[in-house]
Amino acid sequence: AYTFLVYVTRSGEAIVRQERNFYGVLTLKQKDFKGNTALVMKHGDTIHGLELGDKRGDCFSTSYYHGESPLGQFISAMGSTIQDVAMIGLGTGSIVCLGNQAQHWTIIDVNPLVLRLAQDEWYFTFLQNHPLEGLDLKVGDGRLEVAKLKPQSLDLLVVDAFSADAIPVHLLTTEAMKMYLQALRPSGLILMHISNRYINLVPVIANLADYFGRQAYTSPDYQVTAKQEQEGMLQSRWMLLVPPTTQTLPRERWNLVAGNKNDAWSDDYSSIITYIDW
């Protein structure tokens, strides 16, 4: 259970901690999930992860990374075929609970405050109780840090930097994708978290996939059940990019999406106007 000194805002939110840096305001607050208290990390209005009070220390994955989420089910089904993983975007770090003791993960976040709070066991315990063989945490721009990784060293790259109101366009260009693919083994996979209130990123990423001769899939639609909500699960949407020759993937319920390589974004040109959900 949690014991914190909190202050309550006029809206009734119990804020545990709030800090501002160059990247904005990061807030830790208590939130009720069907009677289950959780500590939530928010950047602006966007949730970046949470830990349940009654699961504290258990390394129980929550929010967008819940074991029954599209991401959770996919990683579980892939099992031992995935050994080396990199991720852009840390949040609270609960995604590491989906891993296993045969895996090595590298997680990158541009915001040093996110890393500091995620590693502070007073608030979150995922990074101290993970099951992984190895875990490296890096502060830096995701694109630049991925470019520093050993070529063809990854089985999976998870990109989770698109759920906030602002879209980091430089992570969605052909130049960025070239860096990602250089870090991946020939059979390597890319998973992108594309939940967004204002922008439809499906065609953007499908266009990138087509540009590089990959297939793009969107995760299946689903509703969070009352039990899942009590377990801290949040609605999320993901895209999977795979080599066209890959056959052994648990993607039966994922939907193939066609893209147009001629519309792929580059460092020289991109426009989100077309993709706004008005």
Band the pLDDT of 203: cuts 50, 70, 90.
very high
Spatial distance between the Cα atoms of 196 and 73, rounded to a whole number of angstroms? 21
The mean of the pLDDT values for the chain is 92
Task: List the structure tokens of 1.
Answer: 């259970």
Q: Is 40 in a helix, a strand, or coil?
A: strand
Band the pLDDT of 164: cuts 50, 70, 90.
low
Domains detected in the chain: 64-275 (3.40.50.150)
Spatial distance between the Cα atoms of 163 and 198, rounded to a whole number of angstroms? 10
The 8-class DSSP code of residue 219 comes to P
Q: Residue 224 carries which side chain, given as an amino acid letter?
A: V
Q: Residue 166 above 80 pLDDT?
A: no
Band the pLDDT of 48: cuts 50, 70, 90.
very high
Band the pLDDT of 45: cuts 50, 70, 90.
confident
Q: Residue 3 above 60 pLDDT?
A: no
Q: pTM for the complete prediction?
A: 0.93
Residues 98, 67 contacting (CB under 8 angstroms): yes
Band the pLDDT of 200: cuts 50, 70, 90.
very high
Band the pLDDT of 8: cuts 50, 70, 90.
low
* Concatenated DSSP letters of 45-91: TEEEEEEEGGGTTS----BTT-TTSHHHHHHHHHGGG--EEEEE--T
Q: Report the pLDDT averaged over residues 228-251.
A: 89
* Concatenated DSSP letters of 120-152: -TTT--GGGS---SEEEEEES-HHHHHHHSPTT
